[in-house]
Amino acid sequence: MTLTTKTLFSSAVVSLALAAAAAVPASAGAAPALRPAHASGPLGTALLSNERTITRYAHPYTTSKIRTRPSVHGHTITRLHYHTEDGPLEVYPVLQSRLVHQATWLQIRIPGRPNGRKGWVREEALGPLIVVQTSLRINRTTLKATLYKKGKRIWQSPIGVGKPSTPTPAGQFWIREKLQALGAVYGPWAFGTSAYSILTDWPGGGVVGIHGTNEPSLIPGRPSHGCIRVPNANISRLAKLMPVGTPVRIV
């Protein structure tokens, strides 16, 4: 075989390999696409929340088991429950849907200790999916909180966070409830999150809140038992901008 013939043969082999690779469906092994915010119709296999610009959540319809995988044979992690510690309906962020043997399963985030758990429930165990397009970022180093809507900053404030002995936990959380006028200590508004502090005997079992304060001189700073303190004027504005279900990233 001459050099020219070898070169042509090698080029043909490379072309065939590239063509074969291109023929592989784009979906093979790829992550499911994010379902658009206003999409309707039955759920298939899809990413439902990116926890930045689109997040879906639901309230529970039942107290069904939450399982480790999308199957009735998955181990039980815990059960859905109807209400938060303060009484409002519980909020479950829904991360993705998966169609398994004609049944639709939903992957959810689970409130409660330990922080950060996820699991799977059948679609019928939850109510209608509700879309939010806000996200809150808490920075424990810069002592600032920033709210985004559709990826754009719409609110920012200095904050107070937990003391070194009772730190505000880091991780991916969400807003479970919005409460008004809990008393001067907590300012005009308080948000209950899915984060739990190291203080198990704290009111609500150690739920980390985002709330106003009667000690604004301590902001910015690290004065709390794990909660996030916000100046009263700023928390009042936040109450108009941030709905329940908003994802909260604490870094």
Give the C-alpha separation, 58 to 125, whole Å. 10
Rounded CA gap, 65 and 53, in Å?
A: 29
What percentage of the chain has pLDDT greater than the value 90? 79
**185 found inside a domain:** yes
Residue 230 lies in a domain: yes
Judgement on whether residues 70 and 143 belong to the same structural domain of the protein? no
CATH of the domain at 244: 2.40.440.10
Same domain, 147 and 244: yes
Q: How many residues does the chain have?
A: 251
Tell whether 234 is covered by a domain. yes
What does pTM read for this prediction? 0.85
- The answer as to whether 188 is a domain residue is yes
Residue 32: pLDDT band with limits 50, 70, 90 = confident
Report the percent of the chain where pLDDT is more than 70: 86
Which residues touch 231 (CB under 8 Å, ≥6 apart)?
157, 158, 212, 213, 216, 219
Note whether 178 and 238 are same-domain residues.
Answer: yes
In a domain, 17, yes or no: no
Do 172 and 112 lie in one domain? The reply is no
* Of the residues 131, 154, 188, the one at which a domain ends: 131
Same-domain status, 194 and 169: yes
What are 118-163's pLDDT values in tens digits?
999 999 999 999 999 999 999 999 999 999 999 999 999 999 999 9
Q: Which domain holds residue 246?
A: 134-250
Q: Quick: pLDDT tens for 165-193.
A: 999 999 999 999 999 978 888 999 999 99
CATH number, domain of 55, equals 2.30.30.40
pLDDT at 82: 98
Are 138 and 235 part of one and the same domain?
yes
Residue-level pLDDT at 204: 63
Confidence (pLDDT) at 59: 98
What are the DSSP calls for 21-81, one per residue? HHHS-TTTTPPPPBPPTT--S---SEE---SSS-EEEE-BSS-PEEESSSSTTSPEEEE--
Domain boundary among 131, 158, 175: 131
The residue among 96, 131, 166 that closes a domain is: 131
98 and 112 inside one domain = yes
- Quote the number of domains for the chain: 2
